Structures are given as C-alpha cells and as structure tokens.
Amino acid sequence: MLTVLVAVGILLVLSLIFGAILGYANVRFHVEGDPIVDQIDAILPQTQCGQCGHPGCRPYAEAISNGEAINHCPPGGQATIQALADLLDVEAIPLDGDHGTETAKRVAVIREDECIGCTKCIQACPVDAILGAAKQMHTVIADECTGCDLCVEPCPVDCIDMVEVGVTSRTWSWEKPQGIAAQPGSIIATDRQAEVVH
Amino acid sequence: MQTASVFSFHGGIHPPENKTQSLRLPLGRPSLPTELVLPLGQHIGQSSRPLVNIGDKVLKGQTIAINNGFLSSFLHAPTSGTIKAIEERPIAHPSGLSDVCIVIAPDGEEKWSTLTPLQDWNTLSKTDVLAYLAEMGIVGMGGAGFPTQVKLQGAHKHPLTHFIINAAECEPYITADDMLIREKTIELVLGIEALQHLVEAEQVIIGIEDNKPTAIAALNKVLSDRLSNIKVAVVPTKYPSGGEKQLIQLLTGKEVPSGQYPADIGILCQNVGTCVAVHDAIHLGQPLISRFTTLTGDALKAPQNVEVLLGTPIQHLLNYAENDSKKLKRLVMGGPMMGFTLDSANVPIVKTSNCVLAASKKELPQPAPEQACIRCGMCEQACPASLLPQQLLWFSKSQELEKAEHYNLFDCIECGACSYVCPSSIPLVQYYRHTKSSIREAREAAVKSDLAKQRFEARKARQDAEAAEKEAKRLARQKASASKSSETKKVAPKAAPAAAATTATPAGDDSKKLKIDLAIAKTKLKKLQKQLLEAQENEHTEEINTLQLQTSAQEKAVALLEEQLANAVASAPAPVPKAPASDELKKAKVDVALSGTKLKKAQKQLAESPDDAELQAKVAGFEKELADAQARLSKLSADAPASSTAATSAAPKAAVSDELKKAKVDVALLGVKLKKTQKQLAESPDDAELQAKVAGFEKELNDAQARLATLTDQAPAAQPAAANAGDELKKLKIDTAIAKAAVKKVEKALKKAEDLNSPELDTIRQQLKDAQQRADDLEKALANPNTTAPSATPTASSAPAPSQQANADKQRKIDLAIAKAAVKKAEKGILVLQEQGQDQAQIEASGLPDKLSAARAKLADLEAKGESPAATPNNAETTTAAPDEAALKAEQIKKQKIAAALAKAQINKLTKRLADSPQDADSIQLEITAAKQKQQDAEAQLTQLQLAQVTPSQDNTQENR
Ligand code: SF4
Ligand code: SF4
Ligand code: SF4
Ligand code: SF4
C-alpha cells in the first residue's frame, strides 16, 4: 500500500515539475507564427489591380482570411488559386470569370508624343510606375509596371496601350514534355519496335 | 612537361564516340558568305550595345558593339564590309526565337583595322590586361559564353591552387578542340602562359581525354620544347568528363560544393578555345572574330572541322560540307547529348557554336515514347552530379519546385546521361530544364511582386501622409480664422468706445449693437459653413442642400448687417475730424480682410466640389463684397490724407502706391483663381459651368488688369501684356500640336479601316476632314498672333481680347481632342467586334438605354447653363463689330461635338461590355444602335454647322485681333 502511495506521489511530483518546465518553455520559446494574412498576401501577385474588388492585394488577403472565395484574382490565375488552396487546405476552384480572365503578362506603354501631360495616369498607378509632371510628357517605367490596366481608362486622349510582354530568347523557357499519356497505345516499351517494322 | 595524377567521378556513360568522321579531312576554311549575322547576345549576360549605324563601313576586327554593363561583352566585325542592317534575325537558340543582330555585307577585301598587340602584357597591371581582354570580346568558348574577364576577376577572390585547361571534349561527334590543339598548339600554350601570368595558380593542368592521341602528342612536344611546367593529364574517355565540375574532380579529386563555383575552392577552368583567343588578342591584337567548329553528321558528304568567321550562316557551312538535304532529318547545334535542334539552317555561328550536327534519320531517330518510371535506379548510377534523377523527375512532373530545389536540381548539368540510360526513355533532361525555368520564373516573379508591394505600400504611406498634412493645415486654418474673427470682435468694441468717447451719440450705440449682431451672425455663418463642409466631405446630399440654403440666408443676413454697420459707421464719425477717419480706415481694412477670408474659404469649398452652382454664386458674391470693401478702403485711404489736418505731402503718394499694390494683389489673386479653375476644367473638360466660370474669372482678371494698367504708367503696364501675349502664343502652339496629332490619329485609323475594308470608312473620313479643318484653323490662329502679338504689347487693354479668344479656342480644342479620342476608342471597339466576326447588322439592331438619355439630358442642361456666360466675354470684349453669331455657332458646334463624342463613348463602353459578356449581346446591341443613331445625328448636325461656320469664324478671328 505504501509503495503504491509513494509511486503515486513521485509521479505526481514529476508531472508537476515537467508541467512547469513545459509551461515555461512554451512562454519563453514562443515562436511568432507568420500570420495567415501575410502568408496569403505573399502568394497574391501584388499587381494591385483591384480586379478582385478590393483596393489592392492585401485587402483581398484579409478578405480571404475572413472567408472570401480564393478565386477572385485574375492576374494570379490558376497558379495562385492552387497555392492558396494548398495554404488554406481548401479545394482549388476555377477562376471566377466575373472578376476577369487570366491574360498574358502586359505592361503599359504611353505613346509619348500624344500625351498632354494631365497627370491622371500617375494618380491612377498603384505602384508609382509612371513618371511625369503636369503639362510634361509622361512615360511608364516598364520594369515597375505590374500591368494592372488602371492607367488606361483615365487617360483623356487615350494614349496608353497595354502591350503584351513578348517572350525573348532570354526569357524563354523550356516546355514541359508531353508525358506518358501523349502516346496512347504504347504502354509496353517493346511496342515501338512494331512501329519501325511497318 | 609532367603528367598529373587522375582521379575519377561518379557515374558517367560511354556513348558511341563518332569522332573519326570529322577528322578525316584537314581543317577547312569556308569562303566568305554573302552576309554575316552577328547576334548582340552571344554570351551570358546583357546584350551588347551596337556602336555602328546602318550603312557604316567597317574594317575587319573593328568594334561594332560594346559591353552593356558588367556581365556583357564586346563584338567585332569578322570581316570588312558595310553594315547592312541592325534587326531581329533568327538565332541559334532552342526556342527558335529571333534576337537583334548586326548584319554585315562583306566587301571581300578582308581589310584589317589597325591591330595593336599588347606587347608589354607581362609588365602591365592585371586589371589593364583584363580590361583589354574584355575589349577583345573574349568569352568562354566551351559552353555558355561566360565573359572571360569576369571569370578571371572572380578567380582572384581566393588564391588559386589549380588552373585547369579543359581539353577533354567528351561529347560524341565533336572534334573542334582536338583540331584546334593540333593546329594551334603553340598558340594554345602561349595563351595558357598569358592566363597563368594573370591568375598565378600553383599548378596548371591540361585535362584531355585519351581518345585524342595526336593532340596529346603535339601538346607534349611543345611543352617539353619550352621546358614548361604545365602538366598534361590524360583522362579516360567517359562522358561527361568535360563537364567543368567533373573535370575538376578528375584532376584534383575535389568536389565543388553544391551552389558554389570552382573559384570558391581555388580552382579556375578555361576552355582551350578561350586560351587560343587570349593568345590572338594579346600577341596578335586580334579580337575574337572566328572559331573552330565541327561540321559532321551522316547528311554531310564532307564532314570536317572548319575555322569559321562568327556570323556565318549555317546554311553556308552545310553547302560547304556538301550537305545532302534528302538525308538531313535533324539539324543540331552542339553535340547529340547536350545540343539542341535547330528549326532552320538560316541561323548564324556564334562564339559558343562548337558543332553543327546534320543527322540523318538513322543517326538520331525520333526519341522513343516515354514510359512510366520503373524505379530501376539506372539514372542514379549514371548521374555524374550524384543526384537522384528519378526523384527529381517526380518533383518536376508534379511541379513541386521547392522539393526539386531541395534535391539540388540546380546541380544538374543537363548532361543527358540519365536520359541516355533510362530504359523507359523518359526525356529526363527536358523535365529538368522546364522545372529550372519554372523556378527561375517564380523567383523573378517573387522579386517583382515584392518590389510592387513595396512601391504600393510606399505610395499608400505617402498618400496618407499627404492627407494628414492637408487635414492638419485645414484645422490650422480654421483655428486661424477663428482667432481672426475673435480679433475682429476685439477690434470692434475697441473702435466703438473710441467713437463713443468722442461723440457719445446714439449712432455709436447703434454701430455697437450692429457689430455685436454682425459678430453673432458671422459665427452662425461659420458654423453653417463648417457643417456644410463636413456634409460635402461625407457626401450627404440632402443635408448639403438644406445647409446651403441656410448658409446663403445667413450670408445675406451678414451682408445686410455689414451694410447697415457701414452706413452707421459712415454717418457716425462724420463730426469727428481726425480720429474717426483713421478709425473708419481701420474698419474698412478689417472688412477687406474679412471678406477676403470668406472668399478664400468659399473658394476652397468650391475647389472641393467644383460643380456646385450655389457655391459658385457664393464665391461670386464674396468677390463682389471684397471688391466693394476694397473700393471703400481705397476711397477712404485716398480721402484720409486729404481731410487730415496733419496730412503731409507724402501721404497721397503712399495711398496711390497702396492702391497700386492692392490692384496688383487683385490681379495676382484672380490669376491664381483662374488657373485653379482652368485646372479643374482640364480635369473635367465637358463641364459647361466650369467653362463659364473660367470665362468669368478671365473677365475679372482683365478688369483687374485694366485697373492696374490705368494706375500704373504706360511702360510697366506693357510688360505683363507682353508676357500674356507670349503665353498665348505658347498655348496656341500646343493646341496646334494637339490638333495635328488628332489628324495623324484619324489618318492612321483611316488607313487601318481601309485595310480592313471597314464600313466605318466614311465616318472616319469625315473625322479626318474635321480634324484637318481644326488643325488648319489653329495654324491660322497661330500665324495671326505671331504677327499681331508684338503690336499688341504697347497697349494693355488690347492684350486681353486675343487672350480671351485663344482661351476659348483652347478649351474647344482640348474638348475636341478628347472627343476624338473617344471616337477612336469607339471605333476600336467596333473593329474588334468586326474582327470577332460580329456582323454589322447585328451590331445595329435597335433600342435605347436610359443611361444615354440621362447623359444627354445632363449635357443639354450643361449647354443651357454654359451658353450665356461663355458667350458674354466675346461680346464684352469686342469693340468693333460684335461676332455674336459666330460665337454662338461655335458654341453650337462645340455642343454637337460633345454630343457626338458622348454618344461614341457610350458606344465604346457598350461594345466593350458586349465583348466581355456575349450572353447579354442582344440588349447591348440594341443600345449600341441607338447610341450610333444619336452619334450620327450629332455628326450630321455638326457637319452642317461647320460648313456654315467656316467663313464667319475666320472673320471673327480677324475681327478680334
Ligand atoms: S485581383 Fe489584383 S488587386 Fe486583387 S489580389 Fe489579384 S492582383 Fe491583387
Ligand atoms: S493620362 Fe494620358 S495624357 Fe494624361 S499624363 Fe497620362 S498619358 Fe499623358
Ligand atoms: S542530366 Fe542531370 S540528373 Fe541527369 S545525369 Fe546529368 S547531371 Fe545527373
Ligand atoms: S533510369 Fe528511368 S526508369 Fe530507371 S529509375 Fe531512372 S527515371 Fe526511372
């Protein structure tokens, strides 16, 4: 009987000690997790175009964390939806067409001789990628342009074009091979010999 | 000469060598082609910048493009001739894409530019020699074309233990380095010695595969003749022993850690071709303009090595090696393992082209179909980089980029050994290349989106700061005006006792009471204004209306009180000879200050809501008050010195200069107001009210200027006028430019429409005519002030007239430019629709949107409002025959144009919607047709008006001058 009590007592004391240590460690070594909004924001393309219906990507990230659908960002397209789905552990759904369609990457180009220098495009640009001053010619810093389209509408003389960023030999990338499914009927490797015989 | 010990590396394969074919014939030297095509990006890094222009004559070896940043290279003319073009040409690239190339038409003379060999290379500083090598355009000729000077500089980071010359040439078929060593042994050794001088490595080793006995023998002979301490390491033939990291492992036993460069472990590797190029540059002064290339493959009857000028089209070389085009099935740049297929033989040889393989079908058969990975592990056995290819394949297929990176995908040298051994014929390398591209793209996108985020946040922070500052200023101003009004209150009682003390008449009491009333009324007014402002900020429309009513009532009350007070004050102090006069003066000044403040406040409100008619009326009222007060003040200040007994002779002068100053301030103020309103107008150019306001301001400004002119002498007055005229001239010029741009635009559209044979042709032609007409008008106008401006300067009063005209003109032109842009937009939309195959009749069904009618109603409204004020300035200013009719017509034309533009904008928007949401097509098309109908109506009327107007309007211009 006594041994039982002693054993219980020892275990009790031990559990208290370990509990205290664990409790202390939890406070002392607490790791500040990346808040979910930041993680979502990091996935969004930061085009800041507002097509999702929010004034920028971060507000949409906040909205997503509050339960908005993840398929409202056309610039990000399916890749972003997939990444969000992975992050939030929800099902990847197709892009919501109401917010626009996924397009190839574009940048704005101002036809400079037609610009009247009204500065409206500067006010519209969410990332300050347009350079100019009142009554002076304006131009777009192509490297900074996110292709959000927001400067096109305000221009009173319609001198801003959205130009697709073409693939050059330096930005070109290798295609993915077609994979196995591409050749139906050749599941058995030796089938290819038959082909040669004909 | 000594032999070095040889280690080994993991994996590797033994594909058929196929090297003998191209070694049967001696080194060939093809003839000059008809043109040489030199891509600007023959190396890793930034493309070079061309130094020559089309049509320039260049000599052999002349620099034709210079480096464009740190990681870039020079480019030289491989022969003498003329620059034929600088344009996009297809280049040797796996993508088959084009890049900018300099095209040279050789003149056949092969005339060298002056060559200046680097005589004293062993005494010069190393930096100078490196710079010289850069200018000679030397890049790594074995693989990627890494600029040599950059690689050498990198090698200075750590003391070098080994300097390795890569002569392994492990890839099947290729024998270019073999041939180079045989042909240029001594040059190679001299080049190595020069490089060794630069890098000062402990050991220099030439690594060469044992399948090149002739080359090894030649090397050994030269090295022993020179008693050189360069070692030759003969390595067993195994693919890919020529890989940089593999050769290093073979010769030193050291492994280059993942993600690091050989330089990080004190090793430098150079290709034999590069060493020979270094020799040519230093000892002969020749830049890199040619290279050894292997022409081989079953499709060539005379496979061989050639020394070929850079830029030579491959087709030329195929012809030289007697290509059998029937046999040629696949043209490969590089070897069969690491090369890539070319789509066309029309691409040039570049600095890194070591082989052209013209393969028959039997030689390089279609790759067998891909099968599933059976996890046999053969790829892992073959991989020279000790990777796990099947694992990488898995991650590549599922696009798990992070995991692929974690499995050291970037250590893969794309040697193809794994694909070669894979029994399932999986194109593993292609998967890896794709995944690598994806990872790089993702990295770049991450960098870009980070930057965008930063800029977005910075902009938001700036905007917030600006808004906060504005708010703070507004508060400060409110406080200031509050304290001012309390000051006024203080002043008022002070003045009252003074008056009371001297006269003690009921008049003093009256004025006191009045003042108190006034103060209360003003406080109320201020409160109301504040509420109004808040309401406007929060956009509470109903509140705004009631508040505005209240405010104007209160204003009236205040004005009444002020008038009474002024009367009382004017009558009260009459008996008092001296003090009252100055008192009154003080009061008048306070009045001026007060109404000035009020005016300013109202203007601010107006600026915030420029369309508010009542506010505008208020501003006008305040302005009038201010003018009255000023007039009173000036009268008083003029009277004061005269009536004062103590008046000195200096007093009147002071008064006059005071008035002058005031007048000037008036002018300046009005100018600012005018500018502000014009700016608003520029932002919403269709706003008739704003235009009217601008006209009003201009009139006021003119008045003020006239006042100022009468006050000042003739000479000072002429100055601003002249300045004005100059301004006008500038404006006119800008307008003309805009009109011309419009003409150009329409012409472009016309051409496009003609190309497409569009039914819009007629309308566009009509627009073109309009635009040209406008441009002509403007040019005429421009020509006129050019001649009249100088003559207009002497008299101040004549200047404002053309200014008025020009301004009205300008507004019209801006309106038109914008309207035209809208037209263009609409046409673009229609064109797009047509291209999409929408048929015209479909687009032109029938019906009408509420929106358009609402917009039209608003437009008509605006027009009605705009009509009278816009017309008045012309009437007021014209001293000769009044061009009322012409002005009216011009107004009408403008209106019609605006109507047309609006209708077109509507069409544009609708077509866009149509394109976006085809499911609503029917209703949208109905709307479009209605809008089109409106537009046509407006345009028809417009043409009529314009035809009628052309002559009178010109007369008008003449008359006004
Ligand atoms: S739609 Fe535009 S603003 Fe919204 S998250 Fe996507 S990129 Fe950002
Ligand atoms: S909006 Fe158009 S006209 Fe105005 S500054 Fe920008 S590009 Fe120039
Ligand atoms: S291609 Fe890459 S993975 Fe395949 S064997 Fe070569 S280094 Fe290894
Ligand atoms: S060699 Fe081919 S089949 Fe074998 S494990 Fe590698 S990828 Fe799979």
Is residue B103, in this structure, part of any structural domain at all?
A: yes
pLDDT category at B743 given cuts 50, 70, 90 is low
Is residue A84, in this structure, part of any structural domain at all?
A: yes
Establish if A22 touches chain B: CB-CB under 8 angstroms.
no
pLDDT category at B110 given cuts 50, 70, 90 is confident
Residue A5 CB burial class (10 angstroms; 0-12, 13-18, ≥19): exposed
Is residue A12, in this structure, part of any structural domain at all?
A: no
Q: What's the pLDDT at B573? A: 46
Report the percentage of chain B scoring pLDDT > 70.
Answer: 51
| SS3 per-residue string spanning B682-711 | HHCCCCHHHHHHHHHHHHHHHHHHHHHHHH
d(CA B379, CA B386): 10
Q: What's the pLDDT at B869? A: 43
Q: How many domains does one find in chain A? A: 2
| Interval B264-285 mean pLDDT | 93
**Lowest mean pLDDT segment, chosen from A158-162, B83-87, B401-405, B671-675:** B671-675
Is residue A62, in this structure, part of any structural domain at all?
A: yes
Q: Are B934 and B855 in contact (CB under 8 A)?
A: no
Q: What's the pLDDT at B672? A: 56
For A75, name the nearest residue in chain B, comparing CA atoms only. Answer: B449
What pLDDT, in 10s, does the model give residues B684-725?
555 566 566 656 666 666 666 666 665 554 434 334 444 455
A155 belongs to an annotated ligand binding site: yes
Q: What's the pLDDT at B728? A: 58
Q: How many domains does one find in chain B? A: 1
Q: What's the pLDDT at B961? A: 35
Best of B256, B383, B390 for a ligand 3 pocket test (most atoms within 8 Å of beta carbon): B383
A151 belongs to an annotated ligand binding site: yes
Among A99, A125, A143, residue at a domain's last position: A99
Cβ contact, residue pair A174, B397, below 8 Å: no
Is residue B655, in this structure, part of any structural domain at all?
A: no
pLDDT category at B522 given cuts 50, 70, 90 is confident
What pLDDT, in 10s, does the model give residues B556-586?
666 766 666 666 655 544 444 444 455 566 6
B417 lines ligand 3 (CB under 6 A): yes
Q: What's the pLDDT at B356? A: 94
E strand or H helix at B597, and its extent? Answer: helix B579-608
Q: What does pLDDT average to over chain B? A: 73
Is residue A182, in this structure, part of any structural domain at all?
A: no
Whether residue B405 is predicted with pLDDT greater than 70 in this model: the reply is yes
For B437, name the nearest residue in chain A, comparing CA atoms only. Answer: A173
Residue B349: which domain range?
2-359
What pLDDT, in 10s, does the model give residues B895-952?
665 555 555 656 665 666 666 555 556 665 666 666 667 667 666 666 665 555 444 4
Query: Bigger pLDDT: A27 or B765?
Result: A27
Shortest-distance Cα residue to atom 2 of ligand 4: B422
B294: helix, strand or coil: strand
Q: What's the pLDDT at B36? A: 94
Is residue B920, in this structure, part of any structural domain at all?
A: no
What pLDDT, in 10s, does the model give residues A61-72?
999 988 889 999
What pLDDT, in 10s, does the model give residues A75-124?
888 888 988 998 888 888 888 888 888 888 889 999 988 899 999 999 99
A146 lines ligand 1 (CB under 6 A): no
**Lowest mean pLDDT segment, chosen from B47-51, B358-362, B668-672:** B668-672
| Interval A1-8 mean pLDDT | 92
Whether residue B473 is predicted with pLDDT greater than 90 in this model: the reply is yes
**Lowest mean pLDDT segment, chosen from A27-31, A43-47, B949-953:** B949-953
d(CA B354, CA B363): 19
Same domain for A74 and A121, yes or no, is no
What pLDDT, in 10s, does the model give residues B50-70?
999 999 999 999 999 998 888
Query: What pTM, to 2 d.p., does this model score?
Result: 0.60
Q: What's the pLDDT at B235? A: 93
Contact residues on chain A for B448, CB-CB shorter than 8 A: 46, 146
Is residue B375, in this structure, part of any structural domain at all?
A: no
Is residue A132, in this structure, part of any structural domain at all?
A: yes
**CATH number for A142:** 3.30.70.20
Contact residues on chain A for B683, CB-CB shorter than 8 A: 118, 120
What's the distance, Cα to Cα, between the start and end of chain B in Å? 97
Whether residue B173 is predicted with pLDDT greater than 90 in this model: the reply is yes
Whether residue B514 is predicted with pLDDT greater than 60 in this model: the reply is yes
Shortest-distance Cα residue to atom 7 of ligand 1: A47
Query: Bigger pLDDT: B810 or B36?
Result: B36
Whether residue B790 is predicted with pLDDT greater than 70 in this model: the reply is no
Helix ranges restricted to H, B793-920: 800-835, 840-843, 850-877, 884-916
Same domain for A93 and A139, yes or no, is no
B382 lines ligand 3 (CB under 6 A): yes
Is residue A20, in this structure, part of any structural domain at all?
A: no
Best of A39, A48, A58, A146 for a ligand 1 pocket test (most atoms within 8 Å of beta carbon): A48
Cβ contact, residue pair B456, A168, below 8 Å: no
**CATH number for B252:** 3.40.50.11540
**Residue B374 alpha carbon, nearest atom of ligand 4:** 3
Q: Are B79 and B60 in contact (CB under 8 A)?
A: yes
pLDDT category at B271 given cuts 50, 70, 90 is very high
Q: What's the pLDDT at B333? A: 93
Q: What's the pLDDT at B625? A: 66
Same domain for A83 and A47, yes or no, is yes
B429 lines ligand 4 (CB under 6 A): no
pLDDT category at B616 given cuts 50, 70, 90 is low
Is residue A135, in this structure, part of any structural domain at all?
A: yes
Helix ranges restricted to H, B234-307: 244-252, 272-279
Is residue B134, in this structure, part of any structural domain at all?
A: yes
User: Which of B448, B820, B909 should one mutate to test binding to chain A, selecting the residue with the greatest count of A CBs within 10 A?
Assistant: B448
Report the percentage of chain B scoring pLDDT > 90.
Answer: 35
Is residue B297, in this structure, part of any structural domain at all?
A: yes
Whether residue B789 is predicted with pLDDT greater than 50 in this model: the reply is no
Is residue B121, in this structure, part of any structural domain at all?
A: yes
Contact residues on chain A for B438, CB-CB shorter than 8 A: 173
Is residue B771, in this structure, part of any structural domain at all?
A: no
pLDDT category at B44 given cuts 50, 70, 90 is confident
Q: How many CB atoms lie within 10 A of CB B144?
A: 10
Residue B461 CB burial class (10 angstroms; 0-12, 13-18, ≥19): exposed
Query: Bigger pLDDT: B795 or B530?
Result: B530
**Lowest mean pLDDT segment, chosen from B391-395, B490-494, B564-568, B921-925:** B490-494
Best of A73, A102, A105, A145 for a ligand 1 pocket test (most atoms within 8 Å of beta carbon): A73
Residue A121: which domain range?
106-164
What pLDDT, in 10s, does the model give residues B309-320?
999 999 999 999
Q: What's the pLDDT at B851? A: 43
Q: How many CB atoms lie within 10 A of CB B468?
A: 10
Contact residues on chain B for A170, CB-CB shorter than 8 A: 41
Q: Are B852 and B927 in contact (CB under 8 A)?
A: yes
**CATH number for A93:** 1.10.15.40
Same domain for A50 and A71, yes or no, is yes
| Structure tokens, B619 | 């501003």
What pLDDT, in 10s, does the model give residues B797-854?
444 444 555 555 555 555 555 655 565 555 555 555 555 554 444 444 433 344 444 4
Q: Please state whether beta strands A130-131 and A139-140 pair in parallel, antiparallel, or not at all (unpaired).
A: antiparallel
Contact residues on chain B for A47, CB-CB shorter than 8 A: 449, 452
| Interval A173-192 mean pLDDT | 64
Q: What's the pLDDT at B797? A: 41
Among A52, A69, A99, residue at a domain's last position: A99
